[in-house]
Amino acid sequence: MAVILNFDALPKKQLQLIETAQELFFNYGVSRVTVEEICKTAKISKMTFYKYFADKWAIAKAVLDYLINAGLKTYYQLLEEPIPFDQKVEQILMISDSRVHALGSAYINDLMKPDSPLYEYFTEQQKKMRELSVEFLQQAQEKGLINTEIKIPVALFLLDRLSELLNEPGFIQIIPDIEERAAEIAKFFFHGFARTSLNKDADQYNNLNINKGERAYETT
Protein backbone atom coordinates (compact mmCIF):
# COMPACT_ATOMS: atom_id res chain seq x y z
CA MET A 1 0.00 0.00 0.00
CA ALA A 2 1.38 3.40 -1.01
CA VAL A 3 2.00 5.99 1.70
CA ILE A 4 -0.42 8.93 1.83
CA LEU A 5 1.21 12.16 2.92
CA ASN A 6 -0.50 14.72 5.13
CA PHE A 7 -0.18 17.95 3.17
CA ASP A 8 -2.70 19.60 5.47
CA ALA A 9 -0.03 19.53 8.18
CA LEU A 10 2.27 21.80 6.15
CA PRO A 11 2.64 25.48 7.11
CA LYS A 12 -0.12 27.54 5.50
CA LYS A 13 2.24 29.57 3.31
CA GLN A 14 4.09 26.49 2.06
CA LEU A 15 0.83 24.86 1.00
CA GLN A 16 -0.29 28.11 -0.58
CA LEU A 17 2.91 28.24 -2.66
CA ILE A 18 2.39 24.64 -3.81
CA GLU A 19 -1.21 25.29 -4.85
CA THR A 20 -0.25 28.52 -6.63
CA ALA A 21 2.61 26.84 -8.45
CA GLN A 22 0.28 24.01 -9.43
CA GLU A 23 -2.12 26.41 -11.15
CA LEU A 24 0.68 28.22 -12.98
CA PHE A 25 2.43 25.01 -14.03
CA PHE A 26 -0.80 23.54 -15.37
CA ASN A 27 -1.43 26.61 -17.49
CA TYR A 28 2.09 27.38 -18.71
CA GLY A 29 4.35 24.44 -17.85
CA VAL A 30 7.28 24.49 -15.44
CA SER A 31 9.86 25.91 -17.86
CA ARG A 32 7.93 29.11 -18.59
CA VAL A 33 7.10 29.93 -14.95
CA THR A 34 9.56 31.75 -12.68
CA VAL A 35 9.93 31.82 -8.92
CA GLU A 36 9.08 35.52 -9.08
CA GLU A 37 5.75 34.76 -10.77
CA ILE A 38 4.88 32.12 -8.20
CA CYS A 39 5.62 34.48 -5.32
CA LYS A 40 3.81 37.42 -6.92
CA THR A 41 0.69 35.33 -7.62
CA ALA A 42 0.72 33.83 -4.13
CA LYS A 43 1.50 37.21 -2.57
CA ILE A 44 4.35 35.62 -0.62
CA SER A 45 7.94 36.88 -0.47
CA LYS A 46 10.84 35.15 -2.22
CA MET A 47 12.53 34.84 1.15
CA THR A 48 9.62 32.71 2.37
CA PHE A 49 9.71 30.71 -0.87
CA TYR A 50 13.37 29.79 -0.40
CA LYS A 51 12.66 28.88 3.20
CA TYR A 52 10.68 25.91 1.88
CA PHE A 53 12.06 25.22 -1.61
CA ALA A 54 15.55 25.25 -3.10
CA ASP A 55 14.37 26.31 -6.55
CA LYS A 56 11.53 26.13 -9.08
CA TRP A 57 12.05 22.42 -9.76
CA ALA A 58 11.88 21.63 -6.05
CA ILE A 59 8.40 23.11 -5.86
CA ALA A 60 7.52 21.36 -9.14
CA LYS A 61 8.36 18.07 -7.39
CA ALA A 62 6.19 19.12 -4.43
CA VAL A 63 3.32 19.83 -6.85
CA LEU A 64 3.70 16.35 -8.37
CA ASP A 65 3.70 14.77 -4.90
CA TYR A 66 0.63 16.84 -4.01
CA LEU A 67 -1.22 15.56 -7.08
CA ILE A 68 -0.21 11.94 -6.58
CA ASN A 69 -1.24 12.15 -2.94
CA ALA A 70 -4.69 13.44 -3.87
CA GLY A 71 -5.02 10.63 -6.39
CA LEU A 72 -4.03 8.00 -3.83
CA LYS A 73 -6.59 9.27 -1.33
CA THR A 74 -9.32 9.07 -3.97
CA TYR A 75 -8.15 5.62 -5.07
CA TYR A 76 -8.16 4.09 -1.59
CA GLN A 77 -11.52 5.68 -0.79
CA LEU A 78 -12.88 4.14 -3.98
CA LEU A 79 -11.63 0.69 -2.99
CA GLU A 80 -13.65 0.92 0.22
CA GLU A 81 -16.84 1.95 -1.61
CA PRO A 82 -19.54 -0.79 -1.49
CA ILE A 83 -20.12 -0.67 -5.26
CA PRO A 84 -19.78 -3.37 -7.97
CA PHE A 85 -16.39 -4.00 -9.57
CA ASP A 86 -17.42 -2.67 -12.99
CA GLN A 87 -18.47 0.63 -11.38
CA LYS A 88 -15.06 0.86 -9.70
CA VAL A 89 -13.39 0.38 -13.09
CA GLU A 90 -15.62 3.13 -14.48
CA GLN A 91 -14.67 5.49 -11.63
CA ILE A 92 -10.96 4.75 -12.08
CA LEU A 93 -11.24 5.60 -15.78
CA MET A 94 -13.00 8.86 -14.94
CA ILE A 95 -10.44 9.77 -12.27
CA SER A 96 -7.51 9.03 -14.58
CA ASP A 97 -9.02 11.12 -17.36
CA SER A 98 -9.79 14.07 -15.09
CA ARG A 99 -6.27 13.99 -13.63
CA VAL A 100 -4.65 14.04 -17.07
CA HIS A 101 -6.83 16.92 -18.24
CA ALA A 102 -6.23 18.84 -15.03
CA LEU A 103 -2.45 18.57 -15.42
CA GLY A 104 -2.37 20.33 -18.77
CA SER A 105 -0.19 19.32 -21.70
CA ALA A 106 2.48 21.95 -20.97
CA TYR A 107 3.14 20.58 -17.47
CA ILE A 108 3.14 16.94 -18.62
CA ASN A 109 5.49 17.74 -21.52
CA ASP A 110 7.96 19.41 -19.15
CA LEU A 111 7.92 16.41 -16.82
CA MET A 112 8.38 13.90 -19.65
CA LYS A 113 11.34 15.57 -21.33
CA PRO A 114 14.43 13.33 -20.84
CA ASP A 115 16.49 16.38 -19.84
CA SER A 116 13.94 17.49 -17.24
CA PRO A 117 15.25 17.51 -13.63
CA LEU A 118 12.08 15.63 -12.70
CA TYR A 119 12.08 13.09 -15.54
CA GLU A 120 13.48 10.19 -13.50
CA TYR A 121 11.28 11.00 -10.50
CA PHE A 122 8.18 11.29 -12.68
CA THR A 123 8.97 7.97 -14.36
CA GLU A 124 9.46 6.34 -10.96
CA GLN A 125 6.06 7.63 -9.77
CA GLN A 126 4.41 6.35 -12.95
CA LYS A 127 5.84 2.92 -12.20
CA LYS A 128 4.41 3.02 -8.68
CA MET A 129 0.98 3.99 -10.02
CA ARG A 130 1.15 1.08 -12.44
CA GLU A 131 1.94 -1.24 -9.53
CA LEU A 132 -1.24 -0.01 -7.86
CA SER A 133 -3.21 -0.93 -10.98
CA VAL A 134 -1.68 -4.42 -10.86
CA GLU A 135 -2.60 -4.68 -7.18
CA PHE A 136 -6.18 -3.62 -7.95
CA LEU A 137 -6.56 -6.26 -10.67
CA GLN A 138 -4.89 -8.98 -8.60
CA GLN A 139 -7.23 -8.35 -5.69
CA ALA A 140 -10.20 -8.47 -8.05
CA GLN A 141 -8.92 -11.77 -9.43
CA GLU A 142 -8.42 -13.22 -5.94
CA LYS A 143 -12.03 -12.29 -5.10
CA GLY A 144 -13.24 -14.07 -8.22
CA LEU A 145 -14.25 -10.86 -10.00
CA ILE A 146 -11.85 -11.47 -12.88
CA ASN A 147 -11.33 -14.74 -14.71
CA THR A 148 -8.41 -16.52 -13.03
CA GLU A 149 -7.17 -17.69 -16.42
CA ILE A 150 -6.52 -14.09 -17.52
CA LYS A 151 -2.92 -12.90 -17.14
CA ILE A 152 -2.82 -9.65 -15.16
CA PRO A 153 -0.27 -7.95 -17.51
CA VAL A 154 -2.68 -8.65 -20.39
CA ALA A 155 -5.63 -7.20 -18.47
CA LEU A 156 -3.58 -4.13 -17.54
CA PHE A 157 -2.38 -3.63 -21.12
CA LEU A 158 -5.92 -3.79 -22.47
CA LEU A 159 -7.25 -1.52 -19.72
CA ASP A 160 -4.61 1.05 -20.72
CA ARG A 161 -5.68 0.78 -24.36
CA LEU A 162 -9.33 1.13 -23.42
CA SER A 163 -8.46 4.22 -21.35
CA GLU A 164 -6.94 5.79 -24.45
CA LEU A 165 -10.27 5.36 -26.24
CA LEU A 166 -12.05 7.56 -23.70
CA ASN A 167 -11.29 10.70 -25.72
CA GLU A 168 -11.12 9.14 -29.18
CA PRO A 169 -13.01 11.54 -31.53
CA GLY A 170 -14.94 8.72 -33.17
CA PHE A 171 -16.04 7.39 -29.78
CA ILE A 172 -17.03 10.89 -28.65
CA GLN A 173 -19.20 11.19 -31.75
CA ILE A 174 -21.00 7.97 -30.82
CA ILE A 175 -21.33 8.82 -27.10
CA PRO A 176 -20.81 12.56 -26.37
CA ASP A 177 -21.12 12.24 -22.58
CA ILE A 178 -17.80 11.27 -20.96
CA GLU A 179 -19.45 9.47 -18.04
CA GLU A 180 -21.44 7.29 -20.44
CA ARG A 181 -18.26 6.54 -22.43
CA ALA A 182 -16.44 5.53 -19.24
CA ALA A 183 -19.38 3.32 -18.26
CA GLU A 184 -19.38 1.58 -21.65
CA ILE A 185 -15.63 0.97 -21.50
CA ALA A 186 -15.91 -0.36 -17.94
CA LYS A 187 -18.71 -2.73 -18.96
CA PHE A 188 -16.71 -3.90 -21.96
CA PHE A 189 -13.68 -4.55 -19.77
CA PHE A 190 -15.68 -6.20 -17.02
CA HIS A 191 -17.61 -8.56 -19.27
CA GLY A 192 -14.46 -9.42 -21.19
CA PHE A 193 -12.49 -10.42 -18.09
CA ALA A 194 -15.15 -11.21 -15.53
CA ARG A 195 -16.00 -14.62 -14.22
CA THR A 196 -16.30 -16.27 -17.65
CA SER A 197 -20.01 -15.55 -18.01
CA LEU A 198 -19.86 -17.10 -21.49
CA ASN A 199 -18.53 -20.33 -20.01
CA LYS A 200 -21.32 -20.28 -17.44
CA ASP A 201 -23.89 -19.82 -20.20
CA ALA A 202 -22.29 -22.66 -22.13
CA ASP A 203 -22.41 -24.90 -19.05
CA GLN A 204 -26.07 -24.07 -18.54
CA TYR A 205 -26.74 -24.82 -22.19
CA ASN A 206 -24.88 -28.14 -21.99
CA ASN A 207 -26.68 -29.08 -18.79
CA LEU A 208 -29.99 -28.27 -20.45
CA ASN A 209 -29.14 -30.55 -23.39
CA ILE A 210 -28.02 -33.33 -21.02
CA ASN A 211 -31.29 -33.06 -19.11
CA LYS A 212 -33.23 -33.19 -22.35
CA GLY A 213 -31.26 -36.24 -23.42
CA GLU A 214 -31.94 -37.98 -20.11
CA ARG A 215 -35.67 -37.28 -20.39
CA ALA A 216 -35.71 -38.53 -23.98
CA TYR A 217 -33.87 -41.69 -22.90
CA GLU A 218 -36.36 -42.28 -20.09
CA THR A 219 -39.34 -42.10 -22.47
CA THR A 220 -37.91 -44.70 -24.86
| Residue 93 CB contacts under 8 Å (≥ 6 apart), including other chains | 162, 163, 166, 182, 185, 186
Least confident window among 72-86, 103-117, 189-203: 189-203
Please provide residue 86's backbone torsions phi and psi, each rounded to the nearest 5 degrees. Answer: -65, -30
Kindly report, residue by residue over 150-165, the tens digit of the pLDDT.
788 887 787 777 767 7
CATH number of the structural domain 7-219: 1.10.357.10
- Give 98's pLDDT tier (boundaries 50, 70, 90): low
pLDDT, averaged across the chain? 78
Residue 68, CB-side half-sphere exposure with 13 Å CA sphere: 21
